[in-house]
Structure 1
Amino acid sequence: MNDAPEERARQARATAAGGAGRPRTAVADRIAAAFADAGVDGVAHAVDIDRGTEVGYGADRLVCTASVHKLCLLLALHRLAAAGRLDLTEQVECAVEGRTPGGTGLAAMLDAPRMSLRDLAYLMIAVSDNAAADLLLARVGLEEVNHTTEALGLRLTRAVESFGATQEGMREDAGPAGARALTDPLVLARLRALDPTHGNRSTPRELTSLLRALWRDEFLPAAHGAAVRRLLGLQVWPHRLASGFPFDDVQVFGKTGTLPTLRAEAGVVAYPDGGRYAVAVFTRAADTGLVVPAADAVIGVVGRTAVDGLRGIA
């Protein structure tokens, strides 16, 4: 996300102008201010799932999707299952050798369980398990993930490598200092993983379009759509999009994504009055630290700002 400032402003105005003129522009301005206050470069898009009204800031800018792309893999998995091309109860041997590393789920386990495809999908979404994701990707294939997003009409969304390959590329780019180098601005500047023209990618608007189609049952058969939505509702991370909606009667469904300095989430916010809003927020922090609470929290702030704008709340 390295567009010139004038181009980011132009994109923000273009997104804002898609709705009711001045009110949309005011929301975009508040989003821009929230990003600035948090010390991040960010882009966002939100759409009312039922009415189609939208707000955003830089919504068409290409971004690295990181683990948000697991959402595309999940849809591809269920698309194959709906077509009878695989059985979600199919069992997979989760060997320790060659397993994609990570800090959650299978990636953190010491032994080798045997699991169904649908339980691997649960781990992939609920705790963003990279090992589970790559086992599913080996079964589904990158080509099928891209066929799925193409079928949704998403021109800019593309899967080009596994989650393990992204990690391996970061190790290569970091050099002999390893993970310790990933807070060095000079090292970060050469990370291919942070270049949206190199790796898995999309835009905020295309991701909300995907979510809108999923929530309206316009892409998958209803039973498969419900299964995907259930998994997105089981994500355990409350510190990004969900932090903007601290209410017992508001549901937040989502998938986070994280790379050095990059924090993101795409999801749906559902209100008890029936309002449903697809939201995608991507940020790059100026602070290169691994723990930057303001960069996480601003995703919730921006999500709430965008949804309030769609609900007509000043």
Structure 2
Amino acid sequence: MTPTARTRITRAFTDAGVTGRLHATDIDTGATLTLDADLDTPTASVHKLCVIAALYRHAAHGHLDLRQPVDIPAEGRSPGATGLATMRDTARLSLRDLATLAVALSDNTAADLLIDAIGLDTVNRTMTDLGLHRTIAVHTMRELYATLHDDAHGTPAALTDPTVVTRLRALDPTRTNRSTAREIATLLAAIWRDEVCTGTHAQELRDVLGLQAWSHRLAAGFPFDDVRVSGKTGSLPTLRHEAGVVEYPDGGRYAVAVFTRSAATTVTLPAADRAIGTAARIAVDALRASGQEGARE
């Protein structure tokens, strides 16, 4: 990373009251920009990227049909503020439509139903097969939220208590789903290079990853009609993450993972959300400038 870009990214994190880890890569040239990209970090809902990638790879190998229907009882759904957790009636959806919900709305129930279908072992084995040895799923989303419930003694308001936050297992990368900024960006680059799966499976996987409804983090750094941002957020007390791919109309493609942790336990912290987009934009701009200079040479 050039000193100027590193300084600007660090300043963006500092100004927002967060510490940050970032890895950005030009998908086609392999050029990278990094900041503390190899530190293990709790992934929160960013780990749904790993679940979806494993699902599509499993299907591409003929182990399941993505059109397979799944019955979803009204009771016993994984906790969450969006998607199936908020719905009242029995439903039936295909595996690929569950994948859409898991990305578009970060639906915890949908993600867990996919994990039920393929198993955490398959998710982890897929990451290992792709060379991502530090990307590990320890538990489902329902199990992750159970640790939050237990560590807060069943009191949601306690999750803003700094004393409680320090002991949350969900924030300890040795005891929860984890990865590094480098490995998550590497996974995204592999998806866009058809290294996870090929053909129609690969295209549908990328299409699904382009459906996220939230635009207040990574996408906020690229407010252009002709720039496509596909991504997945992740949030837990003090943690705000996003990883995604930024595609320019000139063909430039960049995988970026930004992980942040705030000192404040405030649930709503817009400055931290914006810092993700700001840092990603600085990194991608630096990669694009470097590539253009190389092309001129």
Q: Which residue of 1 aligns with 2:222?
A: 245
Q: Which residue of 1 aligns with 2:34?
A: 56
1:301 aligns with 2:285: no
Q: Which residue of 1 aligns with 2:178?
A: 201
Task: Check the 8 A contact 1:158/1:202 in 2, yes or no.
Answer: yes
Deviations 1:235-261 (A, max 9, x none): 000000000000000000000001011
Deviation at 1:222, TM superposition (A): 2.4
CA distance in 2, matches of 1:43, 1:222: 33
Q: Which residue of 1 aligns with 2:5?
A: 27
CA distance in 2, matches of 1:42, 1:219: 28
- Whichever residue aligns with residue 46 of structure 1, its letter is A
Task: Check the 8 A contact 2:185/2:255 in 1, yes or no.
Answer: yes
- Whichever residue aligns with residue 148 of structure 1, its letter is T
Q: Which residue of 1 aligns with 2:127?
A: 149
Deviations 1:274-302 (A, max 9, x none): 10000000001112111000011100000
Task: Check the 8 A contact 1:107/1:132 in 2, yes or no.
Answer: no
- Whichever residue aligns with residue 223 of structure 1, its letter is T
CA distance in 1, matches of 2:90, 2:147: 26
CA distance in 2, matches of 1:88, 1:53: 34
Deviation at 1:211, TM superposition (A): 0.9
1:212 aligns with 2:196: no
- Whichever residue aligns with residue 109 of structure 1, its letter is M
Write the mapping of 1:8-19 to structure 2, written as runs, cut at 5 A. 16=1
CA distance in 2, matches of 1:91, 1:232: 21
Task: Check the 8 A contact 1:121/1:133 in 2, yes or no.
Answer: yes
- Whichever residue aligns with residue 212 of structure 2, its letter is Q
Q: Which residue of 2 aligns with 1:122?
A: 100
Deviation at 1:98, TM superposition (A): 1.3
Q: 1:160 aligns with which of 124, 135, 138?
A: 138
Write the mapping of 1:225-240 to structure 2, written as runs, cut at 5 A. 225-240=202-217
Deviation at 1:219, TM superposition (A): 2.4
Q: Which residue of 1 aligns with 2:238?
A: 261
- Whichever residue aligns with residue 206 of structure 2, its letter is R
Q: 2:54 aligns with which of 54, 73, 76?
A: 76
Deviations 1:46-95 (A, max 9, x none): 00000111101101011101000001000111111111111111111111
Q: Report SS of the residue matched to 1:291.
A: coil
Structure 1 runs (4+) greater than 3 angstroms displaced: none
- Whichever residue aligns with residue 124 of structure 1, its letter is A
Deviation at 1:189, TM superposition (A): 0.2
Deviation at 1:103, TM superposition (A): 1.1
TM-score, length of structure 1 as denominator length:
0.91
Q: Which residue of 1 aligns with 2:74?
A: 96
TM-score, length of structure 2 as denominator length:
0.96
- Whichever residue aligns with residue 305 of structure 1, its letter is I
CA distance in 2, matches of 1:69, 1:146: 11
Q: Report SS of the residue matched to 1:249.
A: coil
Number of equivalences:
291
Residue identity over aligned pairs, in percent, reads 56
CA distance in 2, matches of 1:87, 1:224: 11
Q: Which residue of 2 aligns with 1:11?
A: none
Q: 1:283 aligns with which of 257, 260, 274?
A: 260
Q: Report SS of the residue matched to 1:264.
A: strand
Q: Report SS of the residue matched to 2:152.
A: helix
CA distance in 2, matches of 1:259, 1:289: 11
Q: Report SS of the residue matched to 1:263.
A: strand
Task: Check the 8 A contact 2:74/2:91 in 1, yes or no.
Answer: no
Runs (5+) with no aligned partner, structure 1:
1-15, 17-23
Deviations 1:90-117 (A, max 9, x none): 1111112211011111111011111111
Runs (5+) with no aligned partner, structure 2:
none
1:292 aligns with 2:265: no
